[in-house]
Amino acid sequence: MGFMYNLIRSQFFTKLPVPTSSFAGQTVIITGANTGLGLEAARHIVRLGAEKVILAVRTVAKGEAAARDIISSTKVKSNTVEVWQLDLSDYESVKAFGARVATLDRLDAVIQNAGILTNNFDVLEDNESHITVNVISATLVGLGALPKLKETSIRFGVKTRLEFVGSDMQWIAKYKESETSGSILDALAKKEGADMGDRYAVSKLLLLYTVREIAARQPLGKARVIVDCVTPGACASDIFRDDMSWLRSVIQGFMVSLFARTTEVGSRALVHGVKPDLEDNAHGAFLQDCKVFPNGPNVDSPKGQQWAQRWIEEFFPKLESIQPGVTKVLS
């Protein structure tokens, strides 16, 4: 099954079901929740009865506006939705967020949705922006939340969920940085020769490698934490907002009207990936169209398996260098 066939089938011939699973009594964190997919996922989860939904956002004022919008549309109590600050471009912000998560009484699910897509080469912290935000900080947020997810699962006897938002673009990532004989992270941090048209896809491929490794190191046992990677498909979101020329705006507007899902429809996939009755086979899986889906050749081929092993061997020590002990939460 090729990428284009899969894309056309998914976008034009697959209808994502409206979420119906109850989140009653549960606490859910959603990053990047002040707009787009994150906002609509939060709205669904509040509608489905969650006790507390935390919008993790870079700009608190925008998060508070989103919270008011959700409360108004769902008619829930005002204290159902909280806004927490989180800046994925800043490792210290990520660490502080993890420390705050540890103070929660319970945590049932995390949707790690925040991310960027840009054609500009920018450095944030110690790497190119896609790698810092979409991979390194996203993983640190997930690992930071994992102890509370495990504790909640054991204490309340529930299945908790840790979801990373990926992309089907990982199927076609060229990932030329894999050709380096040195550090992959160093290769990704070099502006010279960087293929920014491929960088978003590469970041989502590396994220999937990471999600699969986290799941493998955290098998379902006494603590039942399902870790998965979900794509919402092509959606009419504002992920391009960081560098939108007038020409790209016109082109994107045309393509969106022809091809893309609304953010509400795409958010259904995100909610499915953290529903309380999520099937165990989602653990370590790539989900598309609300079901477990093939990982693609960049993951399952011999070459893809070599790429994944090499990435993990370099990446997990990198995480430890940023936040010592962070990977030790994996059992």
CATH value at residue 106: 3.40.50.720
Average pLDDT score, the chain: 92
The pLDDT assigned to 234 comes to 72
The pLDDT assigned to 233 comes to 80
Per-residue pLDDT of 214-263, as tens digits, reads: 999 999 999 999 999 999 987 776 655 555 454 445 444 444 556 677 88
pLDDT of 90 strictly over 90: yes
Question: What is the pLDDT confidence band of residue 5, given thresholds at 50, 70 and 90?
Answer: low
The pLDDT assigned to 172 comes to 92
Secondary structure of residue 260 in the 3-state scheme: coil
What global pTM score does this model have? 0.92
pLDDT of 266 strictly over 70: yes
Q: Is 311 contained in some domain?
A: yes
The pLDDT assigned to 244 comes to 47
Residue of 150, 159, 204, 275 marked catalytic? 204
The pLDDT assigned to 246 comes to 46
Which residue has better confidence, 79 or 11?
A: 79
Share of the chain above pLDDT 90, in %: 86
* Domains: count for the chain: 1
Which residue has better confidence, 53 or 2?
A: 53
Tokens representing residue 165 in the block: 């938002």
Q: Is 224 contained in some domain?
A: yes
- Sole residue written with tokens 């939108």: 244
Range of the domain at 30: 3-321
The pLDDT assigned to 13 comes to 59
Which residue has better confidence, 200 or 233?
A: 200
In contact, 162 and 226? CB cutoff 8 Å: yes
Q: In this structure, what DSSP letter does residue 109 have?
A: E
Q: Is 61 contained in some domain?
A: yes
Alpha helices in 260-301 (DSSP H): 263-272, 297-300
The pLDDT assigned to 250 comes to 41
Q: Is 73 contained in some domain?
A: yes
- What is the residue type of 69? D
Q: b or e along 47-86 (b: 16 or more beta carbons within 10 Å of the residue's beta carbon)? A: bbebbbbbbbbbeeebbbebbeebbeebebeeebbbbbeb
Alpha helices in 102-221 (DSSP H): 129-130, 138-156, 184-188, 196-217
Per-residue pLDDT of 91-114, as tens digits, reads: 999 999 999 999 999 999 999 999
Q: How many helices and strands, by DSSP H and E, does the chain display?
A: 12, 10
pLDDT of 209 strictly over 70: yes
The pLDDT assigned to 254 comes to 43
Rounded to 5 degrees, φ, ψ at 56 are -95, 115
The pLDDT assigned to 73 comes to 97
Question: What is the pLDDT confidence band of residue 67, given thresholds at 50, 70 and 90?
Answer: very high
Q: Is 79 contained in some domain?
A: yes
Question: Does residue 204 have an active-site annotation?
Answer: yes
pLDDT of 192 strictly over 60: yes
Tokens representing residue 257 in the block: 């009207």
Residue of 52, 159, 175, 200 marked catalytic? 200
Q: Is 326 contained in some domain?
A: no
Question: What is the pLDDT confidence band of residue 129, given thresholds at 50, 70 and 90?
Answer: very high
The pLDDT assigned to 4 comes to 66
Question: What is the pLDDT confidence band of residue 139, given thresholds at 50, 70 and 90?
Answer: very high
The pLDDT assigned to 15 comes to 83
What is the mean pLDDT of the segment spanning 153-180?
A: 96
pLDDT of 158 strictly over 60: yes
